[in-house]
Structure 1
Amino acid sequence: MTQPKQESVLSVDWQQPIDNFLYYLQYERGYSKNTLASYQRQLQQVGLSVYNNPEWQQLNWFTLEQAQLKQHINTLRLAGIKPRTIALKVAALRSFFSFLQAQKLRQDNPALYLTLPKAARDLPKNLAIDQVNHLLNFDSSDDILASRDKAILELFYSSGLRLEELVNLNINDIDWQQKLLRVIGKGNKQRLVPVGSLALNAIQHWLSMRPAFSQQLAEADKLALFVSKQHKRISARHVRQRVQLWAKQQGLSQHLHPHMLRHSFASHMLESSQDLRAVQELLGHANLSTTQVYTHLDFTHLAKVYDSAHPRAKKKS
C-alpha cells in the first residue's frame, strides 16, 4: 500500500498565524532578518509535521496541545536531532504561542513546560592576542579595499560588534570626541560602546578613501559607514568573505569568521579586567549567563590567580 503524499507547503490557515507573528517581530520588536528566518523555519517545520500526520488532521495552531508537541519533540530526539536544534524549535514555539495568547487566540501556551534535552555548551573559539596582532598587521595606506577591510577588522576587535551591528552602522553613529559608537543591537536595543584609537585611525583613513565607492549610493545607503565597490551598503556575506580572505592572506591556520573576533574581544577584555558586568554591557547581552561562558576560556590565567592568591594553594616546605 502506498503512503499518502506529504505536503511540503503549509495551508493558508496554518501559515497566516506564522506570518502575523513574524510581522510583529519585525516591525514591533525590531528582530533581525536572520532571527526572523530562523523563527519561520522552526515553526513551519513543526506545522508541517502536525499537518501531515493523519491522526492530527483536525488540529491547528489554536487547538494544538502539549501532548502533540511532546510527541513531536520525542520524534526529533529519536531521529538524532541535536539538543541545541530542538531547543531552538521549542524557544520559537514558546514565543509564538505567547503571541497567540496576547492576541486572544489561545488561552494557554502548550510549549511552556516542554522539557528539553541537555546540550553541552560549546566554548566559543577565539584568537590569541598575538594572532589578532598578526591579522591586523598589514599595510592599507594605498589600497581602498584594504583600507576598508582594516577598519572593519579593527572595529570588530575594538568594540566586540556582531556582524549585523557592523554592517548597519552609519557614519553619524561615531562620536569622535568621546570615542564612542552608537550600536543598534538585538531587539532594536541601542547601546554605546568605546572605540579604540587604532580602530578610529583605521576608520578615518577609510573615510578619506570612501568617496570612490560612494558616488552612486542609493538614498538609503548615503550614510552607510562601510560600502562596497558595487556602490551600496556592504552586506554581511561580503564581510564574511573579506574576513576569511584576510585570515588566509595573513597566514592564520584556523577558519576565521566575524563572530570569532567578537569572542576574542570578550575573552581578552574579561581576562584583563575580570569585570563580567562590564563585558556584558559592551557585548549587549541581555542576560549575564550568556556572558559567563567567557569565564571558562582562560584556565591558565585562573590557575595563576588561584596559585598566587589562595593561602592554601601551595604546600609549604
Structure 2
Amino acid sequence: MKTFSKELNSFITYLKIEKNASPYTIEYYKNDLEKLFSFLNTEGIASLNDVDHKVIRVFLTFLYEQQLSRRTVSRNISTLRSFFSFLEREEIIDTNPVNHISLPKTEKNIPGFFYTEELEKLFEANDTSTPLGQRNQAILELLYATGIRVSELQQLQLDDVDFSIGTILVHGKGRKDRYVPFGKFAENALKKYIYEGREKLVTLAKTPSSTVFLNSRGNPLTTRGIRLILNKMVERAALTIHIHPHKLRHTFATHMLNEGADLRTVQELLGHEKLSSTQIYTHVTKDHLRNIYMNSHPRARK
C-alpha cells in the first residue's frame, strides 16, 4: 500500500517554511490529502504522475457521494491545487491535473450575530466577584470589543496588552501581527481580571505563565476551554441559542458596520487578507440602512 509520505512531508515543510501556514491549516491540508491517497490506493494508482484530470474528477465524485458540502469539496479542490502546483514546481510531476478543475459554487451562509438584548443578558451572566467570573467577563468583553478569533485570544500574553493606549497586539493567521483597540468596558473587565482574579489563579500553577487567560488550575486556557466557558454563559443567561466564538466576531463586524465604520477599517481590525471576506457582513448593514430609510424618508411609504 503506497502512503505517498515522502511527497506529503515535502509539501508540509513547504507550507511551514514558505507559506507560514498555521497548524490548523496544515492539519486540514493533511486530512484532505490523506483522503486522496486512500482513494488512489483503492484505485491501484501507485504514482502521482499517473494522476490526471479524469482521476481527479472521479475522486471528486467520490467526495460528493459521501454527501460532503460544496464548501468542503471546494476546500479539497483548493488543497489539491496547492499540492499539485507544489509537485509541478519541484518537478516531481510533469503537469498539474487540477489546473482545469473548477470550484463548485458554494452556498453563501449569512453569518449569525447577537442582538443587543441577547448581548445584555450575556454580559450580566457572570459573577464578577470570583476570579473565574472576572476571567469569563474579560473573555466576553474582549471578544466583542475586538472581534478577534478565539485562537488569537487564547495566545494573548500579558505583554500584548497595552492599557496606556487601549490596544492589544494580536498574533493572527500566517504569523501576521496587528494592533486592535478596545474600549472602556473591555478595559475595565481586563484590569479587574488581570489585577485581581488572575493574580489568584496564577498562584495555583506549578509553573507561572504569562498567558492572559488561565484555567482554574492556573494554566493557560485552551481554545476548547474558551468555547465551553462561552456555552456555560449562554446557559446562565437562559438563552435558547447556540453560541460559537465566531458569533461574537460576526457581531463585532456587523455592529461596527451598522454604526458607520468603513469596510477597509473592519477588514484590518478582523485581520482579513481579502476584502471579500469582510463583505459578507454588509448583508446586515443593507437591511439596517433600508429600515432606517423606510422609517425616515417622508416619501418612502404612504
What are the residue-to-residue correspondences of 1:214-225 with 2, within 5 Å? 214-215=202-203, 217=205, 222-225=209-212
Distance in 1, matches of 2:297 and 2:231, equals: 43
Q: Cα distance, 1:65 vs. partner?
A: 2.0
1:105 equivalent among 88, 92, 113: 92
| Aligned positions, number | 301
Instruction: Classify 1:78/1:109 alpha carbon distance in 2 versus 1 (closer, same or farther; 3 Å).
Output: same
Query: Which residue pairs with 1:213 in the alignment?
Result: 201
More displaced 10-residue stretch of structure 1: 291-300 or 171-180? 291-300
TM-score normalised per structure 2? 0.91
Distance in 1, matches of 2:250 and 2:206, equals: 33
What are the residue-to-residue correspondences of 1:154-303 with 2, within 5 Å? 154-208=141-195, 209-215=197-203, 217=205, 222-303=209-290
More displaced 10-residue stretch of structure 1: 191-200 or 207-216? 207-216
Deviations 1:224-243 (A, max 9, x none): 01111233211000000000
1:169–1:224 contact (8 Å) kept in structure 2: yes
More displaced 10-residue stretch of structure 1: 120-129 or 67-76? 67-76
* 3-state SS of 2:101 partner: coil
Query: Which residue pairs with 2:11 in the alignment?
Result: 21
1:29–1:188 contact (8 Å) kept in structure 2: no
Query: Which residue pairs with 1:11 in the alignment?
Result: 2
Q: Cα distance, 1:52 vs. partner?
A: 1.3
CA RMSD, 1 decimal: 2.4
What are the residue-to-residue correspondences of 1:88-99 with 2, within 5 Å? 88-99=75-86
2:293–2:300 contact (8 Å) kept in structure 1: no
2:122 equivalent among 135, 138, 159: 135
Deviations 1:195-251 (A, max 9, x none): 1111111111111221222236576x7210111123321100000000000011011
* 3-state SS of 2:258 partner: helix
Q: Match of 1:18, as an amino acid?
A: L
Query: Which residue pairs with 2:27 in the alignment?
Result: 37
What are the residue-to-residue correspondences of 1:118-129 with 2, within 5 Å? 118-129=105-116
Instruction: Classify 1:139/1:84 alpha carbon distance in 2 versus 1 (closer, same or farther; 3 Å).
Output: closer
Q: Cα distance, 1:27 vs. partner?
A: 4.7
How many percent identity over aligned positions? 31
Distance in 1, matches of 2:55 and 2:87, equals: 18
Distance in 2, matches of 1:218 and 1:92, equals: 42
Q: Match of 1:282, as an amino acid?
A: L
More displaced 10-residue stretch of structure 1: 14-23 or 198-207? 14-23
Matched, 1:52 2:38: no
Q: Match of 1:198, as an amino acid?
A: F
Instruction: Classify 1:202/1:15 alpha carbon distance in 2 versus 1 (closer, same or farther; 3 Å).
Output: same
* 3-state SS of 2:259 partner: helix
What are the residue-to-residue correspondences of 1:74-93 with 2, within 5 Å? 74-93=61-80
Distance in 1, matches of 2:52 and 2:240, equals: 50
Q: Match of 2:194, as an amino acid?
A: L
